[in-house]
Structure 1
Amino acid sequence: MRHSTVQRQQESSKLQAKLSSFNPPLSSQIPWPVLRFFNLNKKICKNFIVKKWPSNSSFSGWDYDQLAERLTLCMQASWDKGLQQGVLRYHDPRLFAAVVDALDEQRQQLLLEPASKWHWLDRDGHARMLDTAALQQLPPLQWRHDSLTLEQEHIDTLSSWHLAETWRQNHLLVPESYGLDSEEEMIRRLALAHQAADKAKLWSEDERMPLVERYLGQGPA
């Protein structure tokens, strides 16, 4: 029993170390994304985190200073009662949908209300759009923190996507090996597999492997 507890603590420490930079660039060969905003009032375009494509594009009525303040706040994630901090790279199109799905309604509003529409390209190169105009009809969110605070359930969900991407890279996985034709679907199944493995307390890679392979081949039960 003690060995199992120590092993879990070691795995948890490794996971927290990975999360300390919160979703770093997943490959040195992939350029950092741009977060590109089109101001609907002034008909101008502003880029944040200016690098190269792939990127997110969004339509906003907010002015530049408001946008910069809110976007910076949302990148500064904190958890464990503020003891842990990191960069939440929600602007990465490979992670944007996963981050939005992981957040509760209040935190979704904090992140999404600056824009009425969010556009991005997914892993398969397909154009996707999230219409958030309804959020702008709500009273402005009063956020009392200087970062996007996350609860343990948010960390657990987001870490499963990080582990999914790491697993894909380490094992050189491709969708065709599992009868799939979508990178998005493969990563989704991997993330769900790691969530299931956490619930089953399967901490080592050898313990996780059968479950991961079943999820990849058959999908969640």
Structure 2
Amino acid sequence: MPSCHENCHRRGGSHRRAQESSRALQPGRGHGVGDRGPRRVPADLPDGCRACAPEEEGDSGAPRRRAREPGRHGVHPGGARFEEPPNSPRGRRVVRVLFDTSVLVPAVVDQLANHEAALDALLSYTAGEHAGYCSTHALAECYATVTALPLRRRVLPVEARRLVEESLLERLTAVPLTEADYVEAIRRVSHGGLGSGVVYDALHACCAERIPVDRIFTYNLADFERLRPAGIVVAGP
């Protein structure tokens, strides 16, 4: 009879139950998220079998998944999580990707609707020979956004710092912005008659062109398409 560990891998390497992968994450339902704080998986579980962790009953009698211990693999209680990369990256061609803040935030906060797709993109395109990048400005944007999200279980400042340091900087190359990047970004949005926060997207676009990368992953598709970064595919995860 196949073991629990073998069954996990027969399901395509996914470490989540089928019913979890078929529905969008909602506040309070993600791994490591709950009104009562962090829940823990036994430390002796085989690596890769976390989806098979036993459930425990809450005060209401409803079973709930135990979350991994805070601090392991960048996991943080209450809505912030990070996992080990899959065994093989997506696709065979080496791809250089710049991640916009709009993708990085849901990648590390599992109470957000786009979490699964964003996390999959981050894991896939920073594994193997693929190369993932972000601008240094994106790190500050991530911290500001994550600590301001109106979540049921708010992400504390110390948790947000750990997310940036342990979940993003350990996987991505953060590229410093230059004076020329700022000048070009402002020039580009002003010539296009664009104002407000689109200038921050222009900074990411200028950074992506300078690296250069093959793709920009963003959920702000309309803004990036108006900026038209040269020779770069703009796409959602």
Which structure shows the higher strand fraction?
A: 1
Query: By the TM > 0.5 criterion, same fold?
Result: no
- TM-score by length of structure 1 reads 0.25
The structure richer in helix per residue is 1
Please, what TM-score do these two structures have when normalized by structure 2? 0.24
